[in-house]
Every structure is written in structure tokens, then in C-alpha cells.
Structure 1
């Protein structure tokens, strides 16, 4: 009798305890952020300059000459294996053509002017000089300017939004608003200062970004982001729901027990958790994990020893190009790995991609950008379980056909119960704004239109 009771209790525990901990247990408490955290040199703390200064992207002639010399005087590369595309990494025969173009045909003065077509600024937030682009369109009477914070990821930069800027800021007779864009370089990226001490992860950057928007006079604003920008935007929505009016993301990655367990269980019968037409975006898991193992080696390196690989990439523009552009190849389309040219010019031009490299090479930010992986993938941050804490902020996601991972909308609602819409695109990859600016911009504008209607409805109901 005792054994029978024990078996029943054990069975109930095995069945119901996981259900309780995954779906019924209360979310973890919201961690406390240090709002006085100082990430810059200590000697500057007493004399912080809070002004907003104009800034210009500059490709100095001495720096350009040194870059061209390095590209021309490099050692010969070993030839690629026979009948190999990008499966072993950047094909060295293709690499030669890119390096020659960068040294001889990339028009540095023209590209410098291209960057400076929009106003750039810097301001010091919590000890760090934060670089950002600010685009304020001229609007007629009756059209409201609303602020949108656009956040990039790695190996992206502010450059990936340039093609979308005129589309996002366009004034339309069909909308009673126009977007004012704030596009910062994340701390340690591009022309934004890096932290001088450990501990600045996505949550801490979320606070910096919120303070940046406050510095510019925006107490409430919308946020858009993908990759790290999506994670930081999610953290902003979690920590500052009163300030974030709506969150749009083209890269929702939730590291929670719920999503992990349901994704694994979904492998048994995928249509139980998602629409059949989207199954091949995540399943079979064997293929998904195969791609993960093959493509995420960089993540392990950057989460453990970013400074070591950073030495090589900082010193060698050839290595920097191969390391970064290989990601633009595979993350745009996984099948580009079998192409000799990596499919890099499938959607991008050489100038566009080299612009991104300049945002890492000129300010020497490659090492400091990679440190963000170490500041996130560690026991301190992961134990916060931020993705287990629901955010009340209205959310909207767009999921590109060739994004690195897929989540069904109902699963996203565990984190964002007020998910307004999930757009499924039949095109596009990881760098959505850069690759397909028109569908990206249309989706962002549709999202903000919906957020505003929702907020007006709630305001009337409160009255």
C-alpha cells in the first residue's frame, strides 16, 4: 500500500511540478538596476558634461592611407579547398576581390559624406559618450512628431538603418503622425564609448538608452530593435513599461524555461505548437541544432575570450572583413554557405557592407563590441531570468523567412501578453532593415499606428 501511494505521489510530482514551475509559478521579481552606475573613467565623474554636441563621421587621410597599406601588404592567403564555398568560412579567393575593392575602389570621401547626410551627435550618459543619429522630419500642421528609438545589434551598426530612414520619416496623408528617429551606437560599438569596468549587460544598456531619450526630452517613446537591439528593447519594456509606449522587434529571442521546453516538445509533433506553414522555420530540430553548432562558434568565443580574438581583428582589416562579412552571408540566407561568393551581393553592395566595417575599423570598436556577449552569457545575468518576467508594453513582432530562429506568437505572449500582432514575411533574413527596408519600414509604421489607436482607446475608457 505504501509503495502504491509513493508511486502515485511520484507520478503526480513528475507530471504536475514541471507544469507548476513553468506555467503556474509567479514570475521572478524584477531585479534592481543601479541608476547611479558610472561606466566611464572615475576622474570624469565629478565634472560630467551633459550637453549634446554635434558630431561628424570622419575618415582621416592618415588612417585611410594606413588601412590601404595594410590591405595591400598582407601575407598571401592559403587557397580554399576544392569545390568549397563558404562552408569552411570566408572563401579566400573571394576575399581577394573584396580586399582589393576596399583598398582601391571604395571611395572614402564619398562614403564619409554618405554617413554625414544625417545629423550625428554625442552626449555623455553615465560616464560614456553615446553617439547617435537624430532625424527630425518637417511636418505640416496637424501631424504629430513621435519619437522612435532604433537599436542595432552585432555585427550591425547605425548604418543598417540608412536605407529605411527616408521611408520611416516620410509624411503621409494616411497618418496623423511622423516618426522622429533616434539611432544610437550601442555602448562599445561604433563611436560610442565602451565601459571601463565589467558588468554592463543588456539591462544596464537599457537604462543608458532610457536616459539618452530623457536627455533628449522624450519622457515616453517607442522602441524598435533586432538582435542585441531586440534584447535591449525587451529589457527596456520590462524595466520601464511607463516610458516605452510600444515595442517593435524583428528579432525576438527568449531565453526562458517555457520556450526551451515547448520548443523541444514541439519536435514530437510541431503542428501542436505552430501553424503548419511555419514548421520548417524551426523544425526538424536536428537541422536547427546542426546550424546552431555550425554557426554559433563565434558566440562561444565572444562570450568567453572576446579580447583575445579582438587583438587579431583590430590589427588586421583583412581578418575583420572576413570575420564580420561571413555573418552577413550566412545570416542573410543559410544556403549561401555553399556559394563561392557567399551570396554577399545577393541583397547588398560592396559599399554597403564595407560601410559597416568602417564603423568597427575607424573607431577601433570591434573588441569592445564583442564584450557584450561576455556581459550577457554569464551566471549573474542569466540568473535574473528577465525573459520570465512579463512586460505589459504593447508589442509587435515581424518574423522574416530566413531569421535564425522562430517563435510562434502564442509563445511570445508569455513575455508580451499584449502582443498586438506578429507579421510573417516570406522574405528577409537577420539584417531585416538593411536587407529589405521597405517591408521593414511598413511594418514598423503599421505597428506604431496600431499602438497609437490602442492608447487612444485606453485613454477614452479611462475617462
Structure 2
């Protein structure tokens, strides 16, 4: 009798566990106020204001004066980019910046798309909003938010925007794109109070999309944009129709991940590991640890003392450390790199952008969003030179409705800017998969 009762309790407990586990958990959050002082008594201002990037002689003269007064420190012989940005090549870049780079022309390029600002939770949020010019009759545009990271900006997506809003293939979906600046980055106002983390940014961006009239939308992100859009999917999974990311480091190692690390090299098929997985995970665990240490010093600084600062070289390809020019112009133009720098410089946002690390890491590594799976349909673009390789098995631990997993031919951490064609194509493929199912 006792045995039967015990078995019954175990079965009941197992059923309860499975039912509870099957429920879609939703991330909880509360409204905040990030403006100076206390919220106004007359409530929040919902006005949407056109914004234009501007520059003037005084701003440029100040920059040139500072460049002219900079004292270069010689690099060690034969050090390439292994000690940081090589000083000799840096002087060439600085000379180009000072004498040839045309910021006014780049400002015109930035303004080719409509910019706006609106106040949310006390701070002005900047965003680029691009609607398709020639929408085929009888069709509607697919709303898509794309979120950048550090040390990037909304400008990362400028190569992708025309591919998504004006696709050349008539069978492609036509997107309406919203690219916000994370608060404290670019032309978005920085929070005036402590505690603004990725969940706060996710909440603010949800409010932005609602203010723009979107009932549902797709989201894409890399770097911090990956975490913010993931949090958006956890906060309101019924509003985010689909999530596309190109960065998904495992937040919490589970048993499948641990077993796959221990046994994956010997039994790859058991864990669905491909040749790419084996090549990137098992060159040598010691090498993986060393590479991580080499490239993560900035994170410790910014997660602890951010108010005290080159990633477009080594985050694009680790092997670029061995090149005298850091391989910078193999993937990007100096004009594009300097435009990104100028967005930080002219807005004065470098410190506030780095504070975002402290706000996220100071709360510990066991935050509620780390424990909650994502039940929004997800697509993952796996670029070969990303900082960390994440096999399909690991991605599925967090993103339970993984619809597409695409090994990409080339590209690194700044994939949207480096490989806009590949990224746009993968977003197209992923979104088509969901939209076709919806029509059926």
C-alpha cells in the first residue's frame, strides 16, 4: 500500500513538474523614471519629434584642435595589434580623420533616413524609422526593430536598411524598420539614475513600438541588442512575432551543455555537433580560455569602473591581431568606422554607453531573465568569427522555439555592418518561414 502511494505521489509530482515547466514564463518588470528629478505631475509627454543630425564649424575645430594636441606613444617593434591598436597605423588613421574624412558628408548620409526622438520614462529616445517607398499593392510591410550593441550604433544597420525596405527580389518580404539608439548611446539621452539595465531598455523599446502603433513586430539584435531583444521576447512574447539574433552566449550551463562539452568531441552525432562545432569548440580548451581573457579585459573595467577605455579589429577576426593594420579596412571602410566613432564623439556618450555594463553586471549573474526560456519563434545566424561559438544544442536550451539555425559563410561580431547582404538574407528567410505558416 505504501509503495503504491509513493509511486502515485512521484507520478503526480512528475506530472505537476512537467505541466509547470510547459507553461510559458513571462519576465516581470515595473515602469521606471530615468529623467532628472521626479516625474512631472502632468504625466509623460508622448510627442514624437523629428530629429536631424547636425554639425558646425566650432564642433569640428574643437575636434581638430584635440587631434593636433594628441601625443602618440610608439608601439613596440613587431607588435602589430597584439598590444592594442598599433600606434604607427593609428597615426595613419588619425591623419585621415584630421585631413581627409568628411564628417559633413557623413552627416548627410546619416540624414538620408528619417530620425525621431520621443520621451519615454523621462529620457529622450532616438530612433531611425524607415518605411518602404514602393510597397506592392495588396501587401503590408513587416515591422522590424533592430538593436545595436557596444561599441556600435544604429549606423551598423545602414547597409541592411535598403536591402530590407527595398528588396530587389519580388518574392521577398518588404520591411518597415525601426533602429533605436540604446539610452546612453548615440543620440538617445542617457539615464540620470542608477539601475538602467537590459530589461529596462527592453521595456522602453516596447513602449516605443506601441507608441508607433505596432501591435506586433519582429526583432533583431547582436551584442547588447541580442540581450535587449531577448528580454523583449520574455516580457511580451505575444507581441514579438519572431526574434532573430546573431549572438547567443549560454547564460547558464545546463546538464545537456555540460555533457556535450565532455562527450561531444567523441560522440558528436549524439549532440548534433557538426564539423564546424568540433572545429570551434575543441581546438583546445586552454586556447579558448586564453582567447576569452585576451578579449574581455574591457568588460571587467566597464562592469566595475566604467567612468575611467579597439574592437572592430579583433572582434571581426582574431587573426587580425597579427597584422600591422589590424585588418580594419579588409571588412570596413575608414569612413564607416570613423562615422561610428563620430556618433560617440559628437553626442558625448562614451561614458554613459560603458556604464550599461555596470548596470547589467552589478546585479549579479543570476537575474530572473537568465532563468526564463524564450518561447518566441527564433532564428539564429551563426557567424564563423563570432566571439563565442554557440552550437545549435546550446541555443535551443534558451530559445525553445528555434526555427532556423544558419551557419554563415563569413563574418564576425559586427556582422550587420560587415556582412549586410548575408544578414538581410537570413532575416528574410527566417521571417518568410513564420509568415508562410501564418498564412496557412
Q: Could you tell me the TM-score, scaled by structure 1's length?
A: 0.85
Say if 2:345 is the partner of 1:348.
no
Q: Which residue of 2 aligns with 1:371?
A: 355
**1:451-462 superposed matches below 5 A:** 451-457=434-440
Q: Distance in 1 between matches of 2:397 and 2:276?
A: 22
Name the Cα RMSD after superposition.
2.1
Whole-angstrom CA distance in 2 between matches of 1:337 and 1:413 = 33
- For residue 307 of structure 2, give the secondary structure of its aligned residue in structure 1: helix
- Secondary structure of 2:176's counterpart equals strand
Q: Is the 8 A contact 1:143 1:176 kept in 2?
A: no
**1:219: how far off?**
1.6
Deviations 1:214-270 (A, max 9, x none): 010012100000010011111111111010000001111231132763564357647
Q: Is the 8 Å Cα contact of residues 143 and 177 (structure 1) preserved in structure 2?
A: no
Q: Distance in 2 between matches of 1:296 and 1:426?
A: 25
In structure 2, the residue matched to 1:297 is: 297
State which of 219, 229, 233 in structure 2 corresponds to 1:233. 229
CA–CA separation in structure 1 for the residues paired with 2:208 and 2:149: 18
Shift of 1:135: 0.5
CA distance 1:142–1:30, change in 2 (3 Å) = closer
CA gap of 1:421–1:29, structure 2 versus 1, over 3 A, is closer
2:379–2:430: 8 Å Cα contact kept in structure 1? yes
1:167 to 163, 169, 172: 163
Alignment CA distance shift 1:45-1:270 (3 Å): farther
Q: Residue 50 of structure 2 aligns with which residue?
A: 54
2:245 and 2:379 map into 1 onto residues whose CA distance is 7
Q: Does 1:203 align with 2:187?
A: no
Match of 1:130 in 2: 125
TM-score (structure 2 length as normaliser) = 0.90
With over 3 angstroms needed to count, the CA separation of the structure-2 counterparts of 1:389 and 1:246, relative to structure 1, is same
In 2, Cα distance between equivalents of 1:248 and 1:32: 22
Give the 5 Å matches for 1:423-462.
Answer: 423-457=406-440
Residue correspondence of structure 1 range 104-115 to structure 2 within 5 A: 104-115=99-110
Gaps of 5+ in 2: 1-17
Among 176, 182, 185, the residue aligned to 1:180: 176
- Number of equivalent positions: 416
Does the C-alpha gap of structure 1 residues 140 and 426 become closer, same or farther in structure 2, counting only changes over 3 Å?
A: closer
Rounded to whole Å, the distance in 2 between the matches of 1:242 and 1:42 is: 34
Post-superposition shift, 1:455?
Answer: 2.7
Q: Does 1:78 align with 2:73?
A: yes
Contact 1:270 1:279 in 2 (8 A): no
8 Å contact 1:254–1:387 — kept in the other structure?
no
* Aligned residue number for residue 403 of structure 2: 420
2:311, 2:380 → 1: CA distance?
23
Deviation at 1:375, TM superposition (A): 1.3
Contact 2:145–2:218 (8 Å) recurs in 1:
yes
- 1:403/1:429 contact within 8 Å kept: yes
| Alignment-derived partner of residue 279 in structure 2 | 280
Q: CA deviation at 1:54?
A: 0.5
Contact 1:225 1:250 in 2 (8 A): yes
8 Å contact kept, 2:265–2:278: no
1:398 aligns with 2:381: yes
Change in CA separation of 1:68 and 1:266 when aligned onto 2, cut-off 3 Å: farther
Alignment match, 2:393? 410
Asked if the contact 1:402/1:429 (under 8 Å) is kept, the reply is yes
Q: Which has the higher helix share?
A: 1
Gaps of 5+ in 1: 1-22, 310-325, 458-463
Distance 2:75 2:169 in 1: 55
Structure 1 position 128, deviation (Å):
1.2
Measure, in 2, the Cα distance between the counterparts of 1:257 and 1:277: 21
Distance apart, 1:334 and its partner CA: 0.3
1:91 to 73, 86, 92: 86
2:8 aligned residue: none
Q: Report if the CA contact (8 A) 1:281-1:402 is conserved.
A: no
Contact conserved, 1:158 with 1:185, CA < 8 A, in 2?
yes
CA distance in 2, matches of 1:331, 1:263: 26
What secondary structure, in the 3-state scheme, does the structure 2 residue paired with 1:328 have? coil
CA contact (8 A) 1:126 1:208 kept: yes
Partners in 2 of 1:242 and 1:51 — Cα distance? 26
Distance in 2 (alpha carbons) for counterparts of 1:367 and 1:262? 41
Describe the shift of the 1:142–1:172 C-alpha distance in structure 2 as closer, same or farther (beyond 3 A): farther
Match of 2:307 in 1: 307
